[in-house]
A and B are shown apart, each in its own frame.
Chain A
């Protein structure tokens, strides 16, 4: 077996037994990136010598029996996470030259564990998009078929895991940006509960919705990464002080008793919806059957406010974005327009030249919805609808452990197919937005393929802080579904 084919768990075991070194593993990924990433454009930055230096340090730690599970493991980071001394662009020209002077808390944890940062991955500018086409640098291509998008906004991270350019990656999820690209690229994506992982050093898009999580090859690998990044952080006041379990206990629970005693709800509002691709439905129905065979009880569930989720989300997220992105004004960091004749002109030129069109569109929507005379009709109303959506979930989780749904209504779409009409793009997020609105965790697990050979994922959502149920059921599904292939031939 080639080194790049190892899962994180396998690589970690071999590193621990000193059968392989982090230098060999890191070099194998760097060579693979060198050969193939010109086709897919997963990475915005790769610092080879720095990665090799980190691998050398990791090998020393291992030699002195001082390792953790992540020591020496090459990881990719979405370029929205601040890395001290390493350029962090957010996929935007406005931060083209931005070199953070501090690490995001998740990055600090990865460094403390002596993981190896192999590179920073492409994304829709400031995580605003569902296809990675909104990157100011280049679109990323789907490793399964280069005519198709990898999904977004963490498209670079998901494609890098699918292309086997790293053991695992970190993404961020504000409305599906971990789960949807994971689904489109045939890998595992986990959005933790809001507050489970510190957001400190994650460049904010919509602060009440953003959450960092793993994109990995297997559910076990995702659990191992979550073990590292979860937990309270005094630097993020929304980060929960909840106790952090060993998430691999979910795997053990499945191995011991399958899914016996678990109730899986299928929201009736989801499947009655128009526009769901027949291949997606087939894969979904098969997954439900597999879960049933594993001992779960399948029941009908209801999320009555589903028809209003997209509208409420696309008010709230742009409102928060318009406030968060006000900081990019050309004064303290990033790009500044040169020819301005006074301060106001400098602000306007900097933002108009620095931000791409989707970011400007969301800033305008948010500014409009928050402006005098419209606040009540849009932001206040959307926040009330959000409360009703949260209540829907609370009620559903009174009887269900898991809610099962597709991740997206269709497999990956073609590059350029939806760029002309922003609203059509927003509507593709229907199944993933609710988890962010309600703050609950969501998992995307590969479920099968479309007739054209594109991957299709299955989404599971659980109650707040119950990632263990997701991992147990997700692992069960992964183990029981026999897929033809797990990774694309590059």
Chain B
């Protein structure tokens, strides 16, 4: 399957990535060849097969709802690139 540059741009936007014009072409080609390979999957007969989302035991894991102390802002914000008092600081959202 051939992926167009426009499609790559749309997917990149969904993933919040920015792809420069130089690498767009090579990403299109790589993605097309990878997806071509994935098309193998179309040949498998999966009629009536339930999808497996994982290899874990498929039962619900419950625990008592016991409150624990929160680590607090000093710990939570320790790795923040930018902060203001007890808040994360981000660029302007509403313009």
In Å, the complex CA distance between A310 and B38 comes to: 8
Is B84 positioned at the interface, with any CB of A under 8 Å from its CB? no
Docked-complex contact B92 and A342, CB < 8 angstroms: yes
Establish whether residues B46 and A311, one from each chain, have CB atoms under 8 Å apart when the complex forms: no
Question: Does A364 contact B27, Cβ atoms closer than 8 Å?
Answer: yes
Q: Please state if A98 and B82 are interface contacts (CB–CB under 8 Å).
A: no
Could you tell me if B41 and A385 are in contact, using CB atoms closer than 8 angstroms?
yes
In angstroms, how far is the closest chain A Cβ from the Cβ of B51? 3
Residues of A within 8 A of B61 (CB): 237
Q: Within the complex, which residue of B15, B18, B50 is in contact with A384, where a contact is CB–CB below 8 Å?
A: B50
A351 close to B (CB within 8 Å): yes
- In residues 67-97 of chain A, which contact B (Cβ within 8 Å)? 97
Chain B hits for A322, CB < 8 A: 15
B85 within 8 A of A: no
**For residues 16 through 63 of chain B, which have their beta carbon under 8 Å from a beta carbon of chain A?**
16-19, 23, 27, 30-31, 33-35, 37-38, 40-42, 44, 46, 49-57, 61, 63
Contact (Cβ within 8 A) A343 B92: yes
B70 within 8 A of A: no
A361 to B31, CA, bound (A): 8
Does A386 have its Cβ within 8 Å of any Cβ on chain B?
Answer: yes
| Residues 319-346 of chain A, each 1 if its beta carbon lies under 8 Å from chain B, else 0 | 0001000100111111110001111111
User: By DSSP majority rule, is chain A's interface helix, strand, loop, or mixed?
Assistant: helix
Known contacts A345-B91, A363-B15, A384-B49, A194 near B56 by CB under 8 Å: yes
Chain A contacts for B82, CB-based, 8 A: 336
Residue contact A367 to B14, C-beta cutoff 8 Å: yes
Taken together as a complex, chains A and B put the C-alpha atoms of A383 and B46 apart, in Å, by: 10
- By the criterion CB–CB under 8 Å, are B30 and A422 in contact? yes
Chain B: minimal CB distance from A88 (Å)? 10
Report B35 CB to chain A, min CB distance, Å.
8
| A460: interface (CB < 8 Å) | no
Interface flags for A350-376 (1: CB within 8 Å of B; 0: not) read 011001010011011101110100000
B38, B54, B79, B91: the one contacting A315 at CB < 8 Å is: B38
With a CB–CB cut-off of 8 A, which chain A residues contact B38? 311, 314-315, 369, 378
From the candidates A99, A101, A367, A423, name the one contacting B15 in the complex (CB within 8 A).
Answer: A367
Contact of A311 among B3, B40, B51 (CB under 8 A): B40
Shortest Cβ gap from A100 to chain B (Å): 8
Q: Would you list which residues of chain A between 217 and 238 have a CB under 8 Å from chain B? A: 234, 237-238
- Find residues 58-95 in chain B having any chain A CB closer than 8 Å to their own CB: 61, 63, 71, 75, 78-82, 88, 90-93, 95
The contact of B41 among A308, A326, A331, by CB within 8 Å, is A308
The reply to whether A98 and B41 contact each other, CB–CB distance below 8 Å, is no
7 contacts between A and B (CB under 8 A): A208-B55, A307-B40, A342-B91, A361-B31, A371-B14, A381-B44, A383-B52
- Known contacts A342-B91, A343-B92, A436-B55; 13 additional CB pairs below 8 A are A101-B71, A311-B37, A331-B80, A331-B88, A333-B80, A342-B92, A344-B16, A348-B16, A364-B17, A368-B11, A422-B30, A423-B33, A438-B55
The 3 closest A-B pairs by CB, nearest first: A439-B55, A383-B51, A208-B54
